[in-house]
Amino acid sequence: MKDGKICFGLVGLGMGGETHARELANVSGATLAAVYGRNEDKAKAFAERFGAPKAYSRFEDLLADPEIDVVNVVTPNGLHRDFAVKAANARKHVVVEKPLEITLEKGLEIVEVCEKNEVLLGVIFQMRFGEAAKRLKSAIDEGRMGRLLVADAFDKEYRPPEYYARDYWRGTREIEGGGCLITQSIHIIDLLQWLAGPVESVYARKKAVLHDIETEDYAAAVINFKSGAQGLIESSTAAKPAFKGRVEIHGTEGSAIINGEWDEIFFWDVGDDKRIDAPDGFKFADIDNPRLMPENRHGLELQDIADAVRDNRPPLVTGKEALKSLAIVEAIYTSAETGQEVSVSKLLEKCGIIS
């Protein structure tokens, strides 16, 4: 901590790292104190661009910096464990951009090492911080939607071929851990399970329908919730033009459709609330450039994490919370490969989570 501010050290200087750097500037009581990148010149240029006073080309040097309170891991998916575990062992609090890791085993290791070292672990699932999502969560928790019957998540995005070609790790099992499901749609999967979960089991299929990648650009799953509700998850980066994602919840007392990315309510008919039947200017089409997506809810979650460090409490999205969506993704991949229904609850039980 320096001058009363929580000091963040950023690892990963790509698109996600830029988002964290921009939004940390809006977090009260916090500052971006340092960045790390293997390329010294790139790290210095990034630090200068975003006003960070220090740039490191050795991760060990960032960890040795006594002013750094929190390490933000915004690297490719399959490298999260390596950086997060080292940060936790250095007694730094840890923030990991979604997904927590590419397998439950690696994700659980991060959780356990953070617990062992008594450091905070927060995982970025910023869609939970939108007003539309919070309104729907309250309606469900308060019973105003009645018994849930159907809960779906549809995420039909588009990424051009160069999106996968320009980065060595995209579309790979070893580093990305999958395709559209684990990188793009895990956001909306997390939102769905947070709203309507826990999830009991899944039955799925996946395929590369457009892009020349070894992982999927389309996946679909039938979802069984512990509540008895049923649902669908559909994920793609092959839908052109891109469509706005939707979480659709139907209960005995009402229905709602929201978009977590843009924080919009597409449809609302719950109890005595005023009905919403598509907002003014509503369009199905979405942009396909992730750099132009809204970032302000990243700032809201980073504010919660900074406050959690200061107040010595868990953040709103913990590592164990992040394991829930990762378990759904892992179950979908296993089901698609085996042709069998896969129990999500059993995967989580192995992680010590009883849903």
pLDDT at 223: 98
pLDDT at 294: 85
**Structural class in CATH, domain 128-289+323-349:** alpha beta
Please state, in angstroms and as integers, the Cα–Cα distance from residue 293 to each residue in 19, 297, 303, following that order.
10, 11, 19
Confidence of residue 115 (pLDDT cuts 50, 70, 90): very high
* pLDDT exceeds 90 at position 4: no
* Residue corresponding to tokens 């499901």: 181
pLDDT at 272: 87
Please provide the average confidence, as pLDDT, over all residues in the chain. 96
Tell me how far apart the terminal alpha carbons of the chain are, to the nearest angstrom: 36
Confidence of residue 291 (pLDDT cuts 50, 70, 90): confident
Spell out the domain ranges in the chain: 6-127+298-317, 128-289+323-349
Tokens in use for 226? Answer: 């512990």
pLDDT digits (tens, 9 = 90+) for 300-312: 999 999 999 999 9
pLDDT at 183: 97
pLDDT at 2: 81
pLDDT at 333: 98
* pLDDT exceeds 80 at position 326: yes
* pLDDT exceeds 80 at position 215: yes
pLDDT digits (tens, 9 = 90+) for 327-338: 999 999 999 999
pLDDT digits (tens, 9 = 90+) for 119-158: 999 999 999 999 999 999 999 999 999 999 999 999 999 9
Mean pLDDT of 8-25: 97
pLDDT at 127: 97
pLDDT digits (tens, 9 = 90+) for 45-101: 999 999 999 999 999 999 999 999 999 999 999 999 999 999 999 999 999 999 999
pLDDT at 309: 98
- Report whether CATH 3.40.630.10 matches the domain 6-127+298-317: no
Whole-model pTM: value is 0.97
- On the question of a common fold for 6-127+298-317 and 128-289+323-349, the answer reads no
Mean pLDDT of 102-125: 98
CA quadruple 337, 245, 191, 95: dihedral sign: positive
